[in-house]
Amino acid sequence: MNWLNLTIKVGIALSILVIFSSCSDDDEEDLVGNWVELSDFEGIPRSDAVGISLEGKGYIVTGYDGEDRLNDLWEYDPLNDYWKQKADFPGKARNGAVGFSANGKAYVGTGYDGTNKLNDFYEFDPYTNSWTQIADFIGSPRYGAIAMTMGDRGYVGTGYDGNYLKDFYQYDPIADEWEQKVSVGGSKRRDAMTFVIDDIGYVFGGLDNGVYEDDFWKYDPTADSWTPLRDISDATDEDYDDDYSIVRTNAVTFVMDGKGYVATGGRSTTGGDVWEYNPVTDLWVEKTELAEDGSGGADRTEAVSFTINNIGYVITGRNSSYYFDDVWRFEPNSEMYEYD
């Protein structure tokens, strides 16, 4: 074999190796999941509102539009993909509030009205389209708290009242009573994330005095106890968390098919990335981001989300001084569609 032929063959082999290596890298970077844009939210574009799912519908209430705090309530019908305005929230207009659903009704409270931190709470009945003020939240007035539903009870905790907090409370809608429970494990925090899978609550992230927290906890309401899970950062020498970039505030969460999802938010930034949590393995996998090229979405913070009929939705939010009114549905196991 002459040197020319050998050189050509070696060159071809190296080219093929580079091609296969490049394809392998591309495959590793391909993320699964697809975002579908739906009919725009019909209210004022806003951030830092409350999103609640109830009886097969989604609800958005309160929020901030860059100039004013809001008290309007909107109902989303996923079957017909349209919005309908409902009775205004009767409390002070606010942002940074929380909400949950229990016993066939929605509950909204706490937050910030531009001057005061709040601890009042209200119940919304979707069948009569009416609000009723209920017992005040017994924790300190605050904003940036968390809320979730487990069983037929609501839970509210953490947040900021001038200090960072980790206290935790249960609401009984039948008795109209609040009861303090065991405080959230680990650090104090505001603007943290939470979701519920099989009546177990999960709390993670948030901000504590300038520190973006990476701890992750689950709550068993029957035992009234907290259990630490794996951190949501690259905290070990093992491979599983090498690419974790989940730490953030002001993100949204939803649950689909027994898995939890966190999307958007950031660390003093806006984001569009999406992570899927499997409670069986206690591991996270990155999915297609909302702002993926071609999707039409945009990085954002302070959006809202809800799950309706096992489908997750992300709505509103802001990027700097731009406020959104777009609505997105997530398909976690689909490939990204091509857009013109």
| Domains detected in the chain | 37-331 (2.120.10.80)
pLDDT tens column, 303-318 = 999 999 999 999 999 9
- Please give the sequence-ordered ranges of beta strands (E in DSSP) within 46-115, or none if there are none: 50-54, 57-61, 73-77, 82-86, 98-102, 105-112
Confidence of residue 335 (pLDDT cuts 50, 70, 90): confident
Distance spanning both ends of the chain, measured CA to CA: 52
Whether pLDDT at 93 is above 60: yes
Whether pLDDT at 48 is above 70: yes
Backbone angles phi, psi at 42, to 5 degrees: -90, -5
Confidence of residue 292 (pLDDT cuts 50, 70, 90): low
* Closest to 290 measured CA to CA, from 308, 268, 317: 317
> In this predicted structure, what is the pLDDT of residue 126?
98
pLDDT tens column, 168-213 = 999 999 999 999 999 999 999 999 999 999 999 999 999 999 999 9
> In this predicted structure, what is the pLDDT of residue 338?
46
Q: Is the dihedral of CA 270, 273, 279, 281 positive or negative?
A: negative
Indicate the SS3 state at residue 101: strand
Assign residue 330 a region (left: φ > 0; alpha: ψ between -120 and 50; beta: otherwise). beta
Confidence of residue 336 (pLDDT cuts 50, 70, 90): low
Whether pLDDT at 8 is above 50: no
* Closest to 203 measured CA to CA, from 223, 222, 179, 220: 220
pLDDT tens column, 224-265 = 999 999 999 999 999 999 999 999 999 999 999 999 999 999
| Higher-scoring residue by pLDDT: 189, 9 | 189
> In this predicted structure, what is the pLDDT of residue 26?
43
Confidence of residue 297 (pLDDT cuts 50, 70, 90): confident
Assign residue 20 a region (left: φ > 0; alpha: ψ between -120 and 50; beta: otherwise). alpha
Q: What is the mean pLDDT of the chain?
A: 91
> In this predicted structure, what is the pLDDT of residue 339?
43
Whether pLDDT at 3 is above 50: no
The pTM assigned to this predicted structure is 0.90
